[in-house]
Amino acid sequence: MAGTQQTDVVISKGRFEAFSDGVFAIAITLLVLELHPPDLTIPTNATLVSALLAMWPEFLVYWGSFATIGIIWFNHYALFHNARRITYAALITNLLLLSFVCFIPFTTLLIAREGLIPVATAFYGLVLLLMSACFNVLFYVMMLTPGERGSFLGFLRKRNLWNSLGPAVYAGGSLLAFASPLASILLFAAMAVFYLLPGTVKGTLDATGGSSTST
């Protein structure tokens, strides 16, 4: 219920969830627009099969980005679930968070277009880094009471550790891209899968009180 203990309450949350849900839903659906069927002069079964197989990196980033936006949406849901009102800080942080979420289709297309080269992959990771950083700030302003805000350790204790580590992992993955883009993209995909594991999901719900029975 920490979300309701904000002192500088300004805005009620109904339309903020609706607007955010819309943006998440559109961003996740736009990912498919970045997938372009191969342009074959004479499409045959053989050429099309090989062309589709050659698209595996694009399919990998499609499901990787889909899982990433899906899980950040779920975290957003858990964070807003018990909040009654949105503070000014949360309003601004949420808008910034959404601007990075909406940016993911671009970085996804960047990899699909340019291939798995270091800079494209690092740029992809940079946006994930900024997105998860915004999310941690959003958690900070929405879930912590003014009293708790002082100590960073208290922040880590209250927050389920894994999500706090998100920015660190995304930063590391971005650097890793210059050694091996494929290893980097697999790390990002693994991070999404990890966030989808029962334990992490439960941890998120416990940290935010999202598993409460109120609807």
* Shortest Cβ 82–a copy of itself spacing (Å): 11
Which residue in 4, 145, 151, 211 binds a copy of itself (CB under 8 A)? Answer: 211
- Residues 5/84, Cβ–Cβ less than 8 Å: no
* Shortest Cβ 93–a copy of itself spacing (Å): 11
Binding positions for a copy of itself, 12-41, rule CB under 8 A: 12-19, 21-33, 35, 37-40
- Enter the tokens of residue 28: 């996740």
Where do we find the tokens 């109904």? 14
- Enter the tokens of residue 188: 């990002």
* Shortest Cβ 136–a copy of itself spacing (Å): 20
- Residues 192/177, Cβ–Cβ less than 8 Å: no
Where do we find the tokens 């990433």? 68
Length of the chain: 215
Which residue in 2, 60, 92, 130 binds a copy of itself (CB under 8 A)? Answer: 92
Per CB under 8 A, 57 contacts a copy of itself:
no
Count the residues of the shown chain that bind a copy of itself, applying the rule CB under 8 A. Answer: 76
Binding positions for a copy of itself, 99-128, rule CB under 8 A: 99, 102-103, 105-106, 109-110, 113-115, 117-120, 123
Helices (H), 152-180: 152-158, 161-176
* Closer to a copy of itself by Cβ: residue 143 or 192: 192
* Shortest Cβ 193–a copy of itself spacing (Å): 10
- Residues 163/135, Cβ–Cβ less than 8 Å: yes
What whole-number distance in Å separates Cα of residue 168 and Cα of residue 43?
45
Binding positions for a copy of itself, 128-157, rule CB under 8 A: none
